Amino acid sequence: MFITTTTEREFFQKELRLVDSKGNVKWIYAKAFPIAKINGIYRVAGIAQDITLRKKVEEEIKKALDKAIELNQLKSRFISMVSHEIRTPLTAIQTSAEILQLYRNKLTRSETETHFNNIFKSIDTMISMLNAITSLNKSDMQEIKLKYEEFDVYEKVNELVENFKLLDTKEIIFELKGKRFTAELDTQLFTQSVYNIISNAVKFSPHQSKISIKLNTNEKEFSIAVKDEGIGIPEYELKDIFNPFFRASNAVNYNGTGLGLAIVKRWTEALKGRIEIKSKLNKGTTVTITFPIRRSD
């Protein structure tokens, strides 16, 4: 308790954060109130209380609550993704299997073939979804076993680009700034990461639009920037884009699991690299991944 004087009738209460020279934080609750007025001067009494422990507990509770909210959102996103991504291929399998069973003697060879293909394609979709979930879980548990190899980066990316060109009508332009170089990375994680971001650019942009892929390097690191002219991402959703199962609100009509970017982020970070995304709604998106050229450990 402390007592002081003032000419103002005032009431004061505040939580104060104090940091000592060693960086230790203490929280103090201070409260002051007028108790008497003598000759126009108020006598003010006050109390100060160390509330460091209470603050710590509050912070812990808030963290636990935030985590619970996040897990709950993750669960909802997971359920809505799984129910959609499993229901669609399962329905396709069921339809084709029923047609094959009911009309097996009436279908032409090519119709039969189409239904079998439909079944296999749907099974593939489900397997890749399950693989994505498994690899996310693995990277969570830091189970990624990296297999470093030296490879020509231009050649690896160009192989992927050529495959995309065969499959899609978009104009894909791949440019290397500077000379060709080799890097030491896990080839599979690297290739899969680049594949994921190119396939997003292809998926989320209109036919005949342009996709530009730029490979840049300096002596320490190199980056691959994939730029498209597609649907973009609403600005307020960009902060969540690397969360597992998160899909932007304008992506509902496109197939997907919301796992690709979360996985690429984990893989790039496992390879001591980073991923950045810039996007403007209805204008386009640029995803850039950067990796060190040499292994540092």
Binding footprint of ligand ADP on the chain (CB under 6 A): 200-201, 204, 228, 230-233, 241, 247-248, 251, 256-262, 285
Compute φ and ψ for 45, nearest 5 degrees: -110, 150
Which CB sits closer to ligand ADP, 258 or 273? 258
Which CB sits closer to ligand ADP, 185 or 233? 233
CB of 124 to ligand ADP, least distance (A): 15
Alpha-carbon span 159 to 195, nearest angstrom: 10
Query: Which residue matches tokens 């699991």?
Result: 257
Q: Which two tokens stand for residue 216?
A: 């840049």
Query: Which residue matches tokens 């884009």?
Result: 241
Which CB sits closer to ligand ADP, 182 or 199? 199
Compute φ and ψ for 143, nearest 5 degrees: -95, 5
Which CB sits closer to ligand ADP, 27 or 242? 242
DSSP-derived letter for residue 248 is -
- Asked whether 210 and 171 are in contact (CB, 8 A), the reply is yes
Alpha-carbon span 141 to 151, nearest angstrom: 28
Which CB sits closer to ligand ADP, 115 or 247? 247
Give the E-state strand segments of the chain in sequence order.
2-6, 12-19, 25-38, 41-50, 148-152, 171-176, 182-186, 210-217, 221-227, 274-280, 284-292
CB of 110 to ligand ADP, least distance (A): 32
Alpha-carbon span 250 to 271, nearest angstrom: 31
Alpha-carbon span 261 to 242, nearest angstrom: 6
CB of 98 to ligand ADP, least distance (A): 29
CB of 272 to ligand ADP, least distance (A): 21
CB of 78 to ligand ADP, least distance (A): 13
CB of 159 to ligand ADP, least distance (A): 21
Which CB sits closer to ligand ADP, 32 or 241? 241
